[in-house]
Amino acid sequence: MNLGRRERVRAATIMEITETARRLLVQEGSEAVTLRAIAREMGMTAPALYRYFPSHGQLLRHVVGDLFNDLTDALHSGLHAAPEHDMAAKFRAACREFRTWAHDHRREYALLFGTPLPGFGQEEQEDFASECGRRFGLTFLELFQELWAKLPFPVPADAEIDDDVREQLAAYRDRLGLDLPLGCILVFLQCWVRLHGAVSLEVFGHLDFALTDPEPFFELMLREVGERLGLDMTNPA
């Protein structure tokens, strides 16, 4: 679709605002990402920014969406580089890309997965950020579904799952519109918790008390999770 001059200028300004906010985040930390600081960097007035983002919270949500897209694109690049029919290679690629992006973008990762900024996340809304967040989540979920379809692995039966957990899993499955056993949903969440937890502990420095090089520890976790999913993890490449 061809945009008119006014729309092109507006789109370019929104992109510049987002890039400026991200640069401030990386260089100075989350506290520096204010409308006044962004306006100063761009040679604008803070009130002028309200023509593009009605609130500081909405600006941050746009930055979050941009970061989720950046991370998701990195995951897709890793997946596309792996052999199409080698599920173990695709699993390793996605998990390693997630860890690599987190280490290369620590402050961005903290904004996405750490403590939310003051006032951020208080409004539940369907917007750019939530759409991009779903795109990120679907990357791992679709990989998991592909694995389940091609190489089904053992999962607990519904009756083996505690009632309070089973009800939550069923509600989560319904929200996603999935046709998967509850035991499969449970294993998916357990695997995500291990991956996310391992990467977050590394990025936030909470393994420094024991490890000077956490990468081999991460690879050990990756092998254990892969084997839990029935993958052949004997080839570490």
Q: What local confidence, expressed as pLDDT, does residue 116 receive?
A: 60
Q: What local confidence, expressed as pLDDT, does residue 57 receive?
A: 84
**What is the CATH architecture of 56-228?**
Orthogonal Bundle (1.10)
Q: What local confidence, expressed as pLDDT, does residue 71 receive?
A: 97
Q: pLDDT tens digits, the chain, 237 residues: what are they?
A: 566 778 888 889 999 999 999 899 888 887 888 889 999 999 998 888 888 988 888 888 889 999 999 999 999 999 999 999 999 999 999 999 999 999 999 999 998 998 765 444 444 567 888 899 999 999 999 999 999 999 999 999 999 999 999 999 999 999 999 999 999 999 999 999 999 999 999 999 999 999 999 999 999 999 999 999 999 998 877
For residues 109-134, b (16+ Cβ closer than 10 Å) or e, as one string?
A: bbbbeeeebeebeeeeeeebbeebbe
Q: Where in the chain is the domain with CATH 1.10.10?
A: 1-53
CATH of 1-53, one of 1.20.950, 3.40.50, 1.10.10, 1.10.3470: 1.10.10
Q: What local confidence, expressed as pLDDT, does residue 165 receive?
A: 97
Q: What local confidence, expressed as pLDDT, does residue 121 receive?
A: 47
Q: Where in the chain is the domain with CATH 1.10.357.10?
A: 56-228
